[in-house]
Amino acid sequence: MRNPLSFVLGASGGTRKPELLTVQSRPDRVGDRYRYDWVTEVREQSPKGASARRHHYETLFEIVDVQPKELLIARTLVAIRADDADLGGGPNPYERAWIGVRAIFGADRRGFPRRVFNWSEARAQVLANLRREAPGPSPDRAEIEAFMEQVPADAAVDLIGADLIALGGVRASGPVLAGREERPPERFQRADGQWVKVVHTLENEAVGPDRVRSERISRSSDGRQLIRTTSLHCTETGWAIELESEHAETIVEAGYEHVQITRARRLEETA
């Protein structure tokens, strides 16, 4: 079924031009809120053995300011699920210390974060929570505190913003092409000095009057790296309703494999 918000360029009888799908029919507004359930699974295989871990948590995102070139987005960790634990140990004090902390990100208009706007305040709250969760002398806590004090606001994005990076990364800044598209290969130099090509494949389709499904695949020519992301978007706000991302790295000659799969499901929104 064709998305009624899409349109086709070109006249009848001529060469049909690519169809464009609208993926955001209204701008972001202050007060828009989105709550997500996240599950991340990591599997590793090496000559030393195999390991697996699972991380399950819930976050709330809120648009707190809309500027011409920037969004301010508040992220709050709402809960960490009991099945986070490796071997049944449960969330550790450092993970629990983030619950309730409201970090405000400066992001581009897609929602891709670039810095933590209130990093000093968020960090102070985390450290206060950590002292409550792990009272008394603790070498581990002291090490975490020393590390946190050295993290600048731009680097804090990678520390606490992986979920917003995933959401902003799949959100389009304008209409997207319907169908399949293969981008020209890009060349990258690996750490060992070898040059490899990376091919990016994109595919978008309307799956209802107000939904667009997108898939992005990036694959290296040496077979070592694969990134596959599938997302379902609401065409009113553009924010993902569902998201699944797989990052795989394989080095056959070293007997090494690392696979990380992240799944997100939007629980509710106020928009």
Tell me the mean pLDDT per 10 residues along the chain, length 271: 38 64 94 96 90 91 96 96 56 89 96 95 94 84 90 92 95 91 87 88 92 95 92 95 94 86 89 57
- Side chain identity at residue 9, one-letter code: L
Instruction: Note whether residue 132 is domain-resident.
Output: yes
Please say whether the beta carbons of 147 and 140 come within 8 A. Answer: no
Instruction: Note whether residue 29 is domain-resident.
Output: yes
Question: Total domain count for the chain?
Answer: 1
236 contacts: CB under 8 Å, gap ≥ 6: 24, 25, 26, 210, 271
DSSP reduced 3-state for 244: strand
Instruction: Note whether residue 135 is domain-resident.
Output: yes
Instruction: Note whether residue 68 is domain-resident.
Output: yes
Give the range of the structural domain holding residue 235, as residue numbers without chain letter.
Answer: 7-270
Instruction: Note whether residue 202 is domain-resident.
Output: yes
Structure pTM? Answer: 0.85
Instruction: Note whether residue 119 is domain-resident.
Output: yes
CA distances from 166 to 191, 229, 239, 242 (A): 25, 9, 11, 11
By the 10 Å C-beta count (0-12 exposed, 13-18 middle, 19+ buried), 89 is classed as exposed
- Residue 188 has what pLDDT? 84
Instruction: Note whether residue 14 is domain-resident.
Output: yes
- Residue 16 has what pLDDT? 63
- Residue 89 has what pLDDT? 55
- Residue 190 has what pLDDT? 79
List, in sequence order, every residue forming a beta bridge with 45; answer none if it has no partner: 50, 257
Instruction: Note whether residue 1 is domain-resident.
Output: no
